[in-house]
Amino acid sequence: MIKVGVFGAKGRMGAEVCHAVQEAPGLDLAAAIDLGDSRDALIGADVAVDFTHPDAVMANIAWCVEHGVNAVVGTTGFTPERLDSVRGFLGDEPSVGVLIASNFAIGAVLMMHFSKLAAPYFESVEIIETHHPMKADAPSGTAATTARIIAQARAEAGCAPMPDATTQEVPGARGADFDGVRVHSLRLAGLIAHQEVHLTSAGETLTIIDDARSRATYMPGVLAGIAWVSDHKGLTMGLDRVLGL
């Protein structure tokens, strides 16, 4: 039995994780805590799952490392500096695994993979992401990760900069810039998570779209991460590593 603790158990994602863990064979929901509860309820857990808030997640990861609890982290808002801090918590000889994935939806992970494959073959690539309006961070972690992956794939392939003659811009009109890849964020009531990657060249458009229609979408990926993380010490970024992509 893998003993699982959940940070953010009363939240939209955390509640779904608690339900999925309770239903999964081989997993035991050992603790479910939210804002104001003591983290000590998670002492003795094998794996902690964190879907909280960008302001809360760093302290939760530090606590997990200190208490020997492996961590599966879905909370978004990670910057390169934050990831360096996590590496600092883990030290040179990590005793636990920390898996951070900006998206646990298998379709979204494949979308990122396909975008990486396609990116060098088109002149222009831009991303539009749409989420529910209660989301704290913009752009989404998935969109930021996708943009960085695309930028890296294009740099490695020696692609020219994308054409863009904009010289006068209302701030934000061209979206956020991730190493030359633009990301546009929409916040619309009634939706959950949706992302489009538009790749174009003269005469041809390839559009890769992923839609999460319910939060259950993320659970197969979260459960795969829980089963995987204890055997992989140190920091791992992305569900693609778990899926072997």
Ligand X SMILES: NC(=O)c1ccc[n+]([C@@H]2O[C@H](COP(=O)([O-])OP(=O)(O)OC[C@H]3O[C@@H](n4cnc5c(N)ncnc54)[C@H](O)[C@@H]3O)[C@@H](O)[C@H]2O)c1
> Which regions of the chain does DSSP assign to beta strands (E)?
2-7, 27-33, 47-50, 70-73, 97-100, 124-131, 176-178, 181-187, 193-201, 204-212, 234-237
Q: Is 3 labeled as catalytic in the residue annotation?
A: no
Residue 7 touching ligand X (CB under 6 A): yes
Quickly list H helices, 5-140: 12-23, 57-66, 80-90, 106-118
DSSP state of 240: H
Q: How far is the CB of 193 from ligand X (least distance, A)?
A: 6
Q: How far is the CB of 74 from ligand X (least distance, A)?
A: 3
Count, residues near ligand X per rule CB under 6 A: 25
Residue 101 touching ligand X (CB under 6 A): yes
Which of these, 39, 35, 49, lies nearest to 100 by C-alpha position? 49
CB atoms within 10 A of CB 189: 7
Q: How far is the CB of 38 from ligand X (least distance, A)?
A: 10
Q: Is 10 labeled as catalytic in the residue annotation?
A: no
DSSP state of 26: T
Q: How far is the CB of 28 from ligand X (least distance, A)?
A: 20
User: By three-state DSSP, how is residue 136 classified?
Assistant: coil
* Site for ligand X, residues 149 to 208, rule: CB under 6 A: none
Q: Which is nearer to ligand X, 57 or 199 (CB)?
A: 57
Selecting among 135, 198, 232, 233, the annotated active-site residue is 135
Interacting residue ranges for ligand X, rule: CB under 6 A? 7-8, 10-14, 33-35, 51-54, 56, 74-76, 101-105, 135, 218
